[in-house]
Structure 1
Amino acid sequence: MIDSRTQAHTSAPQAAAAFSPASLQFLTRLAQNNTRDWFKAHQDEYEAQVRTPALAFIAQIQPFILQLSPRLTAVPKKVGGSLMRPQRDSRFSHDKTPYKTNVGIQFRHFQGKDVHAPGLYLHIAEQGCFIAAGIWHPESKTLNAIRSCIDENPNGYKKALQTLQHHGFQMDGDSLIRPPKGFDKHHPLLSELKRKDFIAVKHIPFEDLCRPDAVQLCAEHFKHCSPLMAYLCFALELDF
């Protein structure tokens, strides 16, 4: 019997590119006119050039994401789905501009409640686009579980890093200055244990997202992140 997810992956026709230069042009103009009045006046352009293409991309890549893991979510909804909202949370920031000048799309683990859960991510902005995977700013309990897993089961983590590096990814995010409490300061993986984020990042040109095979390209990048995602889920006792 052919698995339905595999069938979706192999038989789905190649769709037209979801994104276009107009998508990035809108984000550039928004950065120059980041006010509620301007955004409201250009709401139709946002819908046509940014949100609709992003939702189309999510719908097109959904079979590929589910093939990587049925525990990941790919939901093409305006609110509450994989597309992150355009409004900024500026309550605790000196920057009070109301809107994000990037598109953020996240395919996170279904057992996670927010952006701090393990997941895959696509970032689109004038400053640069990138594919990412892992977990960003986990709470202390989650962070300790990952560090303990790396300490006790280093080989799986090292293999995941090797796969990522082979395919052009680099680990990114914040790190501690000193060794984390309870870990040997001479630990062979100390630089990894000091991480506060476990995120793998690969920069890609925006032009790749405008290609007819953009979904397949992104799906292939995400596939290389599977060992890291599986390891993080193992550390957190989540299915993958």
Structure 2
Amino acid sequence: MIQKELLHFLNNLEKNNNRPWFDEHKPEFTKLDAHFKNGVHNLTELLNEHDSIEKDKTFRIYRDIRFSKDKTPFKCHRSANWIRAGVERRGGYYMRIKPKENLIGVGFFAPEKHDLLRIRKELEVDAQELRDIIEKPTFKNTWGTFQGESLKTAPRNFDKDHPDIDLIRFKNFYFMKSFSDQEVTAPDFFEKVNHDFIIARPFLDYMTAVLTTDLNGESLI
């Protein structure tokens, strides 16, 4: 489970986001973070029961402030992602633990330019299969609707009056789900996250099929 002490530490860090405070409390952070990383690895094992994960990654707590106006040195959250294995498995999973702003995510957070064009071309031809997946009650009740940026008008060379322009305009294709502090510190939190990721698999499988074939359905791998 996620420790309540981790949330308490992150709350205090947000109020004392400076190196002297962090250095003084670093032994506490190191212990809490080791427990968090162990939870990430445990979730990897759960994911590997129904998917194939190439690796999990826990992000550093240190912020890159070189090109930022915000010079606070630390992130006030802990986060991780899971990369699916092989070119035949696209998309990924994400988790962020931050007091009162906990969430998980799934999908394509920053698709490459050629991948984005391929997705849009597929939706231009036929978006019904994707709609059937993301509008299924089980999926929608779990993940809601697409998050991320969307163009205000049609992308270049696409018809602004296309019936599926609402989907074609998206620049990212991912979903997010929030959790309360009580939910993330419950003993079954990682099992619930794993269950939600299972529900997202049809979406990942559809997008994988699109990104590994051309518009004629011929394999690109």
> What is the TM-score with the length of structure 2 in the denominator?
0.86
CA contact (8 A) 1:68 1:226 kept: no
Counterparts of 1:84 and 1:153, CA distance in 2: 37
Q: Look up the match of 1:130.
A: 103
| 1:24-173 equivalence runs, <5 A | 24-49=7-32, 51-70=33-52, 72-75=53-56, 82-110=57-85, 118-163=91-136, 164-173=139-148
State how far apart, in whole Å, the 1-side matches of 2:134 and 2:65 are: 34
Aligned-residue offset at 1:168: 4.2
Q: Equivalent residues in 2 for 1:188-227 (5 A)?
A: 188-227=163-202
Q: Are the equivalent residues in 1 in contact too, given 2:63–2:73 (CA < 8 A)? A: yes
Q: Which runs of 5+ in 1 are unaligned?
A: 1-16, 76-81
CA shift, 1:107, in A, is: 0.9
Residue type of the alignment partner of 1:109: R
Which residue in 1 is equivalent to 2:207?
Answer: 232
Q: What CA distance in whole angstroms lies between the structure 2 residues aligned with 1:153 and 1:36?
A: 53
Query: Cα distance, 1:88 vs. partner?
Result: 1.6
1: distance between equivalents of 2:46 and 2:95?
Answer: 14
Unaligned 5+ runs, structure 2: 214-218
Superposition RMSD in Å = 2.1
Equivalent AA in structure 2 for residue 145 of structure 1: R
Question: Number of aligned pairs?
Answer: 210
Structure 2 vs 1, CA of residues 39 and 52 (structure 1 numbering), >3 Å: closer, same or farther?
same
SS in 2 for 1:134: strand
Distance 1:236 1:61 in 2: 26
